[in-house]
Structure 1
């Protein structure tokens, strides 16, 4: 029996009159369940959490209340382990799920597939939960922050292609940098699935970068979007996305919303920019600064060269003038001295000077010869005296007077009978020649 025939009147013609056959409770619940589960297979519902409970099995059970009505909800363990935010009583949340109709009891409930905070209080609570969890793991540690490249050449951008953020990034980079190229990985930036879309784009850029040669690799990534409500920016508070940013092989700049907006992505990224335009300015600033510096340096060098040439020209002119004046003065002095010398230089004067020098030379030669002879005689006398002293002290002189020198077998001088024994071989040196001797007996005697 089809659903449409169950819910429509079942007519039987009998005697020309319509007779409606009543439905059983099971048939009615079956029809209600089929229609509810078909028409409400995926719905978004927003309300306040009431009676939140975590079962021993890991399932979440709670009700959503809007002040007038409420509906029971269940978020199964296989689903809620992916939800990084745990709701609590009294906060507003937004859930996506499907209607389940329990035919046996005639009751309905909402089976939750995804869940996110709604309203400032819930968003703040969820943000704090995620922040504290990641902070405990050290994902926000300053030591993990990587410096941006000194001179980025290729920039990867993760945002929506049609949004203002991408347009602003391109505008700033085009205006301020002449050689920076941009690679876009388009992604959803708000709504259901946005966080996963951003994460996949981030991973895709890293995969793409691994296949590039060194000269073509991406230097930095910009992940962000333009401003919006806290709900619009919530995708950038996703824990899985935060871990993907931290795991990126390429340094990441987070540029989400406006300056007053702060997301988990801002905390975990290597650098935070207040807006997408500021992020573009960060990567383009160095090139713009370098160009401005080189242009300024060029002007300074040109001015310095001009000033140097002017200084050198003035110094050259002054030096040339001084050289001319000095040369003129020297020439005048030399000419004057030459004339004075020429006036004093005569034949008789030269002859007289030569005679004086000759006489002086002869006198000096005589004195030198006399001094040398006296020195020779004096040294000869001293030599004779010293020779006589040496002869007196020489051992050979003692030998000539009949004395001898006795040496033992090792060539050591023997000065006492105590130093030899009977039978020792001795060598006796005389004035002429030596004698070999043997100790037959010894008399120590007295000194």
Structure 2
């Protein structure tokens, strides 16, 4: 019987198995890490991925940042930069390389800047500089717009382009300043002060185009924040892109996501204004017409209810004028008929030529004229009687006629009509209106009751 050889050595792992287990161990032990160091060996192949190393004085580690992640980074890092990366620790199994897959990269000083940002934000918030109650309203139709920005940047071009399109009639004053670097803080404060001293703008746009946190940092300085908060002119902060947030945004009266959006917010659209003017003009005309119609209807109702004695006289006079016109027409027609008849008689007289018939016709004609005159006089007399009767009837109901019969209207010193004896007292002064005037008197005594029947002679 042959002895069978048995291998008692431990099972060896393949290289692939070892690398796979090491990768699993690293990824499960380090979910996510922040690492800071100096960037070295940076490369950008045609795939769009970034490959580099992070090193310090003693060690280094390989890093990779794939294209889907690095496209979010505004500025491409360069050799020797001090950076901080956020990523996952892993192992590239094919080569057994220990590395970090980076998801985010930023300058190493970003953490300190962010801390300074948060500290100043808390400080100014505690002082109430962010409160909505202290913010001034932005005018809806500014007469003059001020802009604090760089005269050579894209922001001023974007602002002027939008303003020229929307409302080119509004004047714009640029208060130039640098918007990046160490001198920018003092220059921005000086430009805001100059705009207030100039005192022509009724709204002020303060900002610049996009950039890194370091580029925008002057708008996070306390001096700039306090200058904006103390500005007497309503301010609009327009710093960077929509995702950029600065301290200036919090203290300004209004935040705009971009310089172009700031110009949109402070300028009315002249086309919208024209449409509004036309609409309001139409509505005003309609409202005026409706008001006039209501007033006209009300006036007609009041006029129909109003009865005035003069109106009765005018109606009588109008009727008399109508009768006079009818009489004149009747007389004219009668005279015309008489003339026609006279013509016929004259013609017959000429044709027959008897002297007796001529004399008789002349007498008949004279009688007709006399009868006509009497008829006219009688008709006029009847009309005159009717007019006098109507005037007499109207005079009967007239207050003046009542006064003419010996009555008087007595008023106290305040002009109130006195109807009862207790309404006055001894010593009061009264005024009495009679038919042809008025006089004043002083009350000597007051006798309540039916004093007229007791002493009618007094």
State the TM-score, normalized to the length of structure 2. 0.39
State the TM-score, normalized to the length of structure 1. 0.40
